[in-house]
A and B are shown apart, each in its own frame.
Chain A
Amino acid sequence: MYTFSNKLKTFSIALIIIGLLGVGYGFMTSHKSFEEVETILAEEASHHGGHGEEAAHGEHAAETAHQDGAHEVVDAHKEHVEHVQHQMANRPWAALYVGAFFFFMIALGVLAFYAIQWASQAGWSPVLFRVMEAITAYVLPGGLIVLAIALASGTIGHYNLFIWMNPDVVAHDKLIQGKAGWLNIGMFALRGLIFIAGWALYRHFSRKFSLAQDNAEDDKNFKKSFRWAAAFLVFYIYSESMMSWDWIMSVDPHWFSTLFGWYVFASMFVSGITVIALITMYLKSKGLMEFVNDSHLHDLAKFMFAISIFWTYLWFSQFMLIWYSNIPEEVTYFITRINDYKLPFFGMLALNFIFPLLILMNSDYKRIPWFIVMAGVVILFGHYLDVFNMIMPATVGDRWFIGVPEIGAILLFAGLFMLVTFTALSKAPLLAKRNPFIKESENFHY
């Protein structure tokens, strides 16, 4: 049995409070008036020798050239300032959303991994089931938070995340009008609730059967778990794909990509596996999981290594196909990222691919805890950046920075995630009893 130590509880609550302060600070300082934004832009222009301002004006002037010629410059200036003002107001929303989605996707990735372990009847992983079950406890609250932020941005906020929620924008946008059958707030909310309900139901029942199996006389619960896992995986692959269109791809409602769902899946899968490894190592270092040996860690590290490469494969497949054919309506997605997000966009490639590739290739290194911790921290930061790169360019554009609102959101959800996970961890023994594969798993060696 694991007891949630008071120290850790205080620590996670402290994270939540500091995070809340950061998020609150972000919201308080982001609503700038027209004049304030004007002064900021003028200051930036004088710092950069006026290039930025002029270039931006030029673009807008060209766009509005066919309209009223006399007011062209004034209109362009006003439009530009309003545009920047809106981007600045979006930043705390986007920062909150990225943080919320990142921690939610870890839990959902673990849920998929957990279901795969049941459905494939893996012999090595049952000793880790309780860790996975604890992490997936965050699926329900995490999912609801993400959906709530998304909906609030379109109802309480000023359409700070999804421009298709803004009726004024849709009225002037033929492309979004064509997608309005899918992209409307009612359907968005309904779909989101159905996805979350499906995931939470599977998590609820699999946990229930897993606990019931501990004291059972036969393997009835095991068989039920197996069937639920198989059914869930079918539901999951559809719902995850649609969730990625809804919650992430629709921040750029003019852009579309067919392998996007897989790409988001790879990201959540590898982050989830990394968190399983980190929490397992933490509990083992406390002497609570003696039955976990370095072969289990080796297997988890192999998954981290392989799925990191899988993620890169999908990232590159998406990027290269669009770069190669260079169709204007698709390629703008990457042009904004390469122009405004050069460091995070290519930096995450180093963090998510090159670093794990070189660190986790050696079989001996995959058994050394501090190596896995090091690789794990880098992978998690890399995948935070991945979500950051997916959301930010569409919401704040070149006004991005990883500052107080972003770090505040990370701390807030990290604290919440820890609180939920470790509370769930303390509710059941750390070793599943009477699982048909538990003996094999305890004696697993590679």
Chain B
Amino acid sequence: MEASKVIHAIYTDDDVLMSAVKKVKAEKHHIEEIYTPFPVHGLDKAMGLAPTRLAITSFLYGCLGLAVAITMMNFIMIEDWPQNIGGKPSFSFLENLPAFVPIMFEMTVFFAAHLMVITFYLRSRMWPFKNAENPDPRTTDDHFLMEIPVHNNEAALQELLQETGAVEINIVEKDAH
């Protein structure tokens, strides 16, 4: 149920925004999106957004990196060509383990960090040459914008948002993107 019309309420203060979000949520209106120039602490909780699972993916990527490092060095140093290099014991992986730990550590961190960042970009749809989805350029500077879909309740919504201290309320036809 894609609403063609949305209402844009603009605020100039993050505290006012927070109380507005709580009020709008209490009136059981769906908030489509909020645009802010900086992170507002507690906004996700007030909006009722689900917690991120990015940390869990990062842990799994780290495990993958560790597995890659172990498999790689076990094959190269122990199985494929177990040379005697400076008297290091290359008879089994465990015997030469301390020498592999720095690489195992770095690979774990490398995989955990980079794959998590890439996951973040994919999930939040960010890439070079992407068209910015910015309904109002002032939201990158000092204004906060709350977007609420309109379902034949224009007047009621407008009144409610006025009460919450919005400095500007616009009704916008949303173009499909």
Q: Are A326 and B98 in contact (CB under 8 A)?
A: no
Query: Which stretch from A33-41, A127-135, A210-218, A316-324 is at the chain B interface?
Result: A316-324
Q: Classify chain B's interface size.
A: under 10
Q: Are B59 and A324 in contact (CB under 8 A)?
A: no
B101 is an interface residue with CB less than 8 A from chain A: yes
Cβ distance A312 to chain B, nearest Cβ, rounded Å? 11
Query: How many residues on A have C-beta within 8 angstroms of the other chain's C-beta atoms?
Result: 8
B87 is an interface residue with CB less than 8 A from chain A: yes
Give chain A residues whose Cβ lies under 8 Å from the Cβ of B98: 316, 319-320, 323-324
Give chain A residues whose Cβ lies under 8 Å from the Cβ of B101: 316, 320
Could you tell me the distance between the alpha carbons of A326 and B99 in the complex, rounded to whole angstroms?
12
Cβ distance B20 to chain A, nearest Cβ, rounded Å? 23
Cβ distance B54 to chain A, nearest Cβ, rounded Å? 12
A361 is an interface residue with CB less than 8 A from chain B: yes
Which B86-138 residues have C-beta < 8 A from chain A? 87, 98-99, 101
In the complex, residue of chain B having the shortest beta-carbon distance to the beta carbon of A361: B59
Cβ distance A342 to chain B, nearest Cβ, rounded Å? 13
In the complex, residue of chain A having the shortest beta-carbon distance to the beta carbon of B102: A320
Which B20-65 residues have C-beta < 8 A from chain A? 55, 59
Give chain A residues whose Cβ lies under 8 Å from the Cβ of B55: 363
Give chain A residues whose Cβ lies under 8 Å from the Cβ of B87: 326
Which A315-337 residues have C-beta < 8 A from chain B? 316, 319-320, 323-324, 326
Give chain B residues whose Cβ lies under 8 Å from the Cβ of A323: 98
Cβ distance B161 to chain A, nearest Cβ, rounded Å? 30
Could you tell me the distance between the alpha carbons of A361 and B55 in the complex, rounded to whole angstroms?
10
In the complex, residue of chain A having the shortest beta-carbon distance to the beta carbon of B99: A324
Give chain B residues whose Cβ lies under 8 Å from the Cβ of A363: 55
Could you tell me the distance between the alpha carbons of A320 and B101 in the complex, rounded to whole angstroms?
9
Cβ distance B177 to chain A, nearest Cβ, rounded Å? 35
Give chain A residues whose Cβ lies under 8 Å from the Cβ of B59: 361
In the complex, residue of chain A having the shortest beta-carbon distance to the beta carbon of B56: A362
Cβ distance B45 to chain A, nearest Cβ, rounded Å? 12
Q: List 12 A-B contacts (CB under 8 A).
A: A316-B98, A316-B101, A319-B98, A320-B98, A320-B99, A320-B101, A323-B98, A324-B98, A324-B99, A326-B87, A361-B59, A363-B55
- Having A319-B98, A326-B87, one finds 10 other A-B pairs with CB under 8 Å, namely A316-B98, A316-B101, A320-B98, A320-B99, A320-B101, A323-B98, A324-B98, A324-B99, A361-B59, A363-B55
Q: 10 shortest A-B CB distances, which residue pairs?
A: A320-B98, A323-B98, A324-B99, A316-B101, A320-B101, A324-B98, A319-B98, A361-B59, A326-B87, A363-B55
